């Protein structure tokens, strides 16, 4: 995250939240290429608890930049390869690692752009646990 964003939380807190079903949003650094989400002030970072993704990142020696698994604003949280039909013309690669066991909710998205504060952008599947962890580290919620 430190490579692409102004990290406002400790590594200890980040390690409590990630890997897992949480997406952390920070202010992007100017060193992040302009072609990556042009015109957007923030960048969202997620480390899924997925062995294949971890293995790919280890082999590459760097993180992956990837899009969300659905169209922005879509309620669909894909759980099988068939759910990607509409996106296939726009993406370079889909890795099919089998059926995903899911509640159908996406990750919990947390805005951490303000030091010592947080705002839940999307409830997702880990909202309660994420809020509890953030508060245990002294962060306060922006309403």
- Does any domain span residue 13? yes
The two structure tokens encoding residue 6: 């102004």
Specify the higher pLDDT residue, 74 or 63. Answer: 63
- Domain span at residue 14 reads 5-73+107-141
CA–CA dist 63, 47 (Å, integer)? 9
CA nearest 115: which of 96, 138, 131, 83? 138
Residue 102 belongs to some domain of the structure: no
User: Quick check: is 94 in a domain?
Assistant: no
111, part of any domain: yes
Long-range CB contacts (within 8 A, 24+) of 26-31: 26/1, 26/112, 26/113, 27/113, 28/4, 29/3, 29/4, 29/5, 31/3, 31/4
**What's the confidence (pLDDT) of residue 101?**
61
Establish if 41 belongs to a structural domain. Answer: yes
CA distance 62 to 15: 17
Q: What's the rounded Cα separation, in Å, for the pair 55 and 31?
A: 26
CATH number at residue 130: 3.90.870.10
Residue 30 resides in a domain? yes
| Residue 78, domain member (yes or no) | no
pLDDT per residue as tens digits for the range 36-50: 888 899 999 999 888
Q: 91 vs 20, which has greater pLDDT?
A: 20
Please report, rounded to a whole number, the percentage of residues in the chain having pLDDT higher than 90. 50
Q: What is the pTM of this model?
A: 0.83
Q: Domain total for the chain?
A: 1
Q: Is residue 26 part of a domain?
A: yes
What's the pLDDT at 76?
Answer: 59
SS3 content of the chain, % helix, strand, coil (to 5): 25, 20, 60
């Amino acid at each position: 995250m430190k490579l692409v964003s102004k990290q406002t939380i400790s590594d200890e807190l980040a390690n409590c939240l990630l890997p897992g079903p949480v997406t952390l949003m920070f202010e992007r650094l100017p060193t992040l290429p302009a072609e990556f989400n042009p015109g957007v002030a923030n960048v969202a970072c997620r480390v899924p608890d997925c062995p294949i993704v971890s293995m790919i990142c280890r082999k590459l020696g760097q993180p992956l930049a990837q899009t969300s698994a659905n169209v922005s604003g879509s309620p669909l949280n894909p759980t099988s390869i068939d759910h990607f039909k509409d996106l296939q013309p726009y993406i370079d690669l889909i890795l099919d690692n089998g059926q995903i066991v899911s509640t159908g909710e996406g990750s919990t998205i947390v805005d951490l752009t303000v030091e010592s504060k947080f705002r839940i952008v999307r409830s997702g599947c880990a909202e309660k646990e994420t809020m509890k962890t953030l508060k245990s580290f002294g962060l306060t919620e922006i309403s």
